[in-house]
Amino acid sequence: MKIRQSLCTGCRRREVFFFRPYSGQRLCKKCFVESVEAKVRATIAKYNMLDFNDKIAVAISGGKDSLSMLHILAKMELARPKASLTAVTIDEGIKGYRDEALEIAAAECQKLGIEHHVFSFRRLFGFTLDELAEKAWKTDEKLTTCSYCGILRRRALNVAASEVGARKIATAHTLDDEVQTVLMNVFRGDLARLAKEKPVTDDVHPKLAQKVKPFCEIPEKESALYAYVKKIEFQASPCPYSSGALRNDFREIVNSMEEKHAGTKFTIFNTLERLRPALYAVVDTSQYADCVECGEPSSGGLCKVCELLKKMR
């Protein structure tokens, strides 16, 4: 009997479509899709991310990761009638980039019958990111565009969750994002962030929604492939501000190590998970105070958002 090497190792019936180097699986399209969905469900359960009656704000950018996640969460919601999803998109105000993404995000939400709300930097902070980037040239601002965009985006997401009445925010950080962040924090020596960046944020302040990352164990490549197989439209071009980002260096490093040693990303991710209890013992997990200006949670005195906007005005 001739053995058909090209049959799926899952169903043993259909043709192989995808080889997963870190597990040795050779999967057909259907089994691949099911394996990603099963992994997301398992991740949600493992980290106790969601409750049966959660109102969840799903942060979608219009990229492959967040739209793949939205599809999977929408499917899961069907079996959980007391849970509800609302999609939220932060419009930083990046000309020639975010506009296209907004259209795609809105269209996907309509297809899935999910409410979609857009929150703009302009409305929340009075400036678009383009305007801030231009102003930064004229001040002594040392933060990179990605850094202050991150500060404002975090705040915007919290406002968004609060306005749509959600106590949880799901973001589509992939395994790759998480591992890049780990290495960046090791290279920067930032033990506090190494401790805090995790699949579920600590629920530390009544004003802050809890952030959960259902894709934290999904490799970016598989997230993209999921979108492709499910024919999800997404924005493929990268943010114009991202080209100089430190993160790109780490993406290359990690991808080249994964190429040589399949499973490296999971190893690094799991190392951090094992290390985390110990990290809490050496870092300052200080409590939040209210910002003296806006009243939002801050690490003390003026919050980072107010500090940034003050400089920019």
Q: Which of 139/248 has CB closer to a second copy?
A: 248
Determine if 38 is a binding residue for a second copy (CB under 8 A).
no
* Helix (H) / strand (E) containing 55: strand 55-59
Between residue 190 and residue 209, which ones bind a second copy under the rule CB under 8 A? 191
Question: Rounded to an integer, what distance in angstroms lies between the CA atom of residue 88 and that of residue 119?
Answer: 7
Under DSSP, is residue 157 helix (H, G, I), strand (E, B) or coil?
helix
Among 1, 189, 206, 284, indicate the residue that binds a second copy (CB under 8 A).
189
Smallest gap from residue 282 Cβ to a second copy (A) = 5
Phi, psi of 238 (to 5 degrees): -80, 160
Task: Identify which of 122, 111, 13, 103 has the alpha carbon closest to the alpha carbon of residue 61.
Answer: 103
Q: Which listed residue (5, 78, 281, 313) binds a second copy by CB under 8 A?
A: 281
Per CB under 8 A, 255 contacts a second copy: no
Instruction: Please say whether the beta carbons of 215 and 65 come within 8 A.
Output: yes
Q: Which of 111, 188, 207, 310 binds a second copy (CB under 8 A)?
A: 188
- CB closer to a second copy, 17 vs 280: 280
C-beta separation of 167 from 55 below 8 A: yes
Q: Which of 11, 38, 45, 278 binds a second copy (CB under 8 A)?
A: 278
Q: Are 160 and 90 within 8 A, CB to CB? A: yes
- Contact (Cβ atoms closer than 8 angstroms) between residue 65 and residue 223: yes
**Coil, strand or helix: which one is 212?**
strand
Residues 164 to 183 in contact with a second copy, rule: CB under 8 A? 182-183
DSSP of 68-101: HHHHHHHHHHHT-TT-EEEEEEEE---TTTHHHH
Interaction pattern, residues 234-253, with a second copy; x per rule: CB under 8 A: ---------------x---x
Figure out which of the listed residues 24, 96, 113, 277 binds a second copy, where binding follows CB under 8 A.
277
Closest CB 268 distance from a second copy, rounded Å: 6
Nearer to a second copy, 65 or 178 (CB): 178
Binding footprint of a second copy, residue count (CB under 8 A) = 25
Separation CA 191–CA 137 (nearest Å): 31
Q: Which residues bind a second copy (CB under 8 A)?
A: 182-183, 186-189, 191, 249, 253, 256-257, 260-261, 264, 267-268, 270-271, 274-275, 277-279, 281-282
